[in-house]
Amino acid sequence: MFKKYFFIFALIFTALLSSCSFAIPKTSAANLDYNYDLVYQSPYPNTLNPGETIPVTLKIKNTGTANWENTGDKVVRLGSGSQYGSLLQNRDYNSEFANSDWLSPNRPVTISNSEVMPGEETTFQFNIKAPTVPGTYKAYFTPVVDGVAWMKDLGIYWQITVKEKDSKVSSAAPIQNNQEQAINQSQTAKSTLETDTLVNNLAPSIVKIVCKTSTEFWSQGTGTLFHNSLHNPLLPEYYVTTNLHVVQSENNPDPECDIKLTPDYKNKGVYLNFESNGYKSYDGLDFVILEPKVISNLNGAGSLQDLVRYAKEDAEIAKKVPAKENIGEEILVLGYPENGDLSVSDGKILGYESYHDSNYIDTSALLHHGNSGGLAINSDGQILGIPTFLKANSVGMILDINYLENKIY
């Protein structure tokens, strides 16, 4: 009799399970055997219609000691939720972006590779579905080894704005739109003023670098003037950071370089001139440090007092923002486009990636030839890195200051 009722209960329990959505057990806290670095995250989608779907990509690198698998009892998946989300977005919550092709409402996808060994990279590719209610959403995700451990929480998220459905506008709508327009204009004016203030403060520290690469040709780039406020014995008292490719060419590895400082970037073409007293390079890095040298008996020559006055304290580099938690944030790039004056371009942080054994920030901010070696900052003026080159699809590559600090300072 007991076996009979047990069999009936088992049938009912199995039927109940089959009627539920696929749910994967919650797992324990972070385990360093399963660790990763964020390599790339696809940009935020544009404004979407309610219910619209769009593909997204996340690439991560195995920096732990254990292998990752996409089958078996230790499967690595992307899980919903993060400590950085709202109270309703804890780990394993049913995501507002869940699509019908997800594994479950709290697990969009498994890693693409059958096995990922330490040091290797893998990709999560899946679709997110816009919620049906208009508004701006941030949906958070964290890699997880199901049944074993959550990986570290970087606050990875995609942000989308769901627009209103097309509908007839009531007579009151224009007034509301006018009010919104006035607010937007005010916010834009405030943002512009804050940006101008940042640029005014930074401009004298951003220098134009002109190097003689051969008997006939000169190259131009950008650099940032720093004061060695950290008292690093390996650095001069005042120095300029820039890219190696700005100062060095195949034909002339030891060029003559001029360093041009502008006290007022709005007073175009007025520079204080210095020479480079050689440079210090670092193996494997597209990065060098120049030592500015005061030039005597030259019209427009800068002085030691000018270096003291306009150099940026390198202690501010220690105030940098944490890497890999700022995707989607605003970024400003300052530099001297070739044959031009100091310019500022703005954009977003698109992601992070490793290239030629260096770490870079991907940005939508426009980079021009001559911007190389300049300065990238966030909207609070904190240093993010050095604009270095432009890759395919107009994505700017910023040499990450977090990475440089560990190598240089």
Residue 65 Cα distances to 32, 35, 119, 142, 397, angstroms: 8, 8, 9, 19, 30
b or e along 131-162 (b: 16 or more beta carbons within 10 Å of the residue's beta carbon)? Answer: beeeeebbbbbbbbbbebbbbbbbbbbbebeb
Record the pTM: 0.54
55-87 pLDDT, tens digit each: 888 889 999 999 999 998 889 999 998 887 777
- 26-35, 101-110, 185-194: least confident range: 185-194
Distance CA 211, CA 99 (A): 55
pLDDT at residue 98 is higher than 80: yes
The structural domains of the chain, with segments of one domain joined by +, span: 20-162, 189-409
332-346 pLDDT, tens digit each: 999 998 767 888 888
Distance CA 217, CA 87 (A): 60
Considering the domain delimited by 189-409, tell me its CATH architecture: Beta Barrel (2.40)
210-247 pLDDT, tens digit each: 987 666 667 789 999 999 988 889 899 999 999 998 98
Over residues 189-194, mean pLDDT: 46
In single-letter form, the type of residue at position 71 comes to T
Residue 155 Cα distances to 34, 143, 192, 364, angstroms: 17, 11, 29, 21
147-180 pLDDT, tens digit each: 888 998 877 888 888 887 654 333 333 434 444 4
Instruction: Give residue 349's Cα distance to chain centre.
Output: 4
Distance CA 262, CA 268 (A): 8
CATH number of 20-162: 2.60.40.10
Beta bridge partners of 395: 391
First to last CA, the chain: 77
- Torsion angle of the four alpha carbons 220, 222, 226, 231, in this order, in degrees rounded to the nearest 10: -70
Over residues 118-143, mean pLDDT: 90
Of the chain, the percentage scoring pLDDT greater than 90 comes to 28
Report pLDDT for 215. Answer: 61
Report pLDDT for 26. Answer: 47
Per the prediction, the chain carries an average pLDDT of 79
Residue 192 Cα distances to 205, 326, 348, angstroms: 20, 21, 16
Between 104 and 165, residue with greater pLDDT: 104
b or e along 226-258 (b: 16 or more beta carbons within 10 Å of the residue's beta carbon)? Answer: bbbeeeeeebbebbbbbbbbbbbeeebeebebb
